[in-house]
Amino acid sequence: MENIPAFKKLLETPQNVVITVHQRPDGDALGTGLGLSALLKKLGHQVQVIAPTAYPAFLDWMPGSPEVIICAQGQQERSFELLNKADIIFCVDFPTLNRLNEMEPVVRGAAATKVVIDHHPTSETFGDLIFRDVKAASTTELLYEIIVALGYQDLVDKDIAECLYAGLMTDTGSFKHTNTTAKSH
């Protein structure tokens, strides 16, 4: 967690933030994006979550899901405009920018500070601040560790906790996969 001081400084001043998740987002991607969004809003940031493609309907219950912009559903122009105006772009739960489909070149070329939060191994390095832990059972597990390292754990409310838990549940197969550890619990 060597980037925590720089990350905390980045978050000190309210900014325009876009959180991107991978194509066909699962519970971990959406849970990380929505949990992070709720946290950043509490810190005074303007936040928008953008997904390249739709997520499964069974995730519609997640707090904040109605506000997610789906780029591929006629929202390209709006998505690209938000990405180009962003001060910070978060790339959560994906190891390579090609997982963003048509959003890839826009994110790659954006002037925003890029923050990567992910638990997948990769050979592609992108981002100004990178939080990657391939031993984490889910990206939501890693996000919670970051929240604690920042000293923001008191900001975790029911909505944020539900988003983080959804990601942990889906990526561990309800705690049945071998990636489940004591830390996951």
Over residues 135-139, mean pLDDT:
86
| 118 within 8 A of 138, measured Cβ to Cβ | no
pLDDT at res. 121: 86
Over residues 130-147, mean pLDDT:
92
User: How far apart, in whole angstroms, are the C-alpha atoms of residue 104 and residue 86?
Assistant: 15
Which residue is associated with the tokens 């591929």?
72
Q: Give the tens place of pLDDT for each residue, 97-133.
A: 989 999 999 999 999 999 999 988 887 888 999 999 8
Which stretches does DSSP call E strand in 71-137? 88-92, 113-118, 129-132
| 52 within 8 A of 18, measured Cβ to Cβ | no
Over residues 132-148, mean pLDDT:
92
Task: Give the pLDDT band (50/70/90) at residue 152.
Answer: very high
pLDDT at res. 46: 98
- Which three-class secondary structure state does DSSP give residue 21? strand
User: How far apart, in whole angstroms, are the C-alpha atoms of residue 81 and residue 142?
Assistant: 29
pTM confidence score: 0.93
Q: Give the tens place of pLDDT for each residue, 45-59.
A: 999 999 999 999 999
pLDDT at res. 168: 85
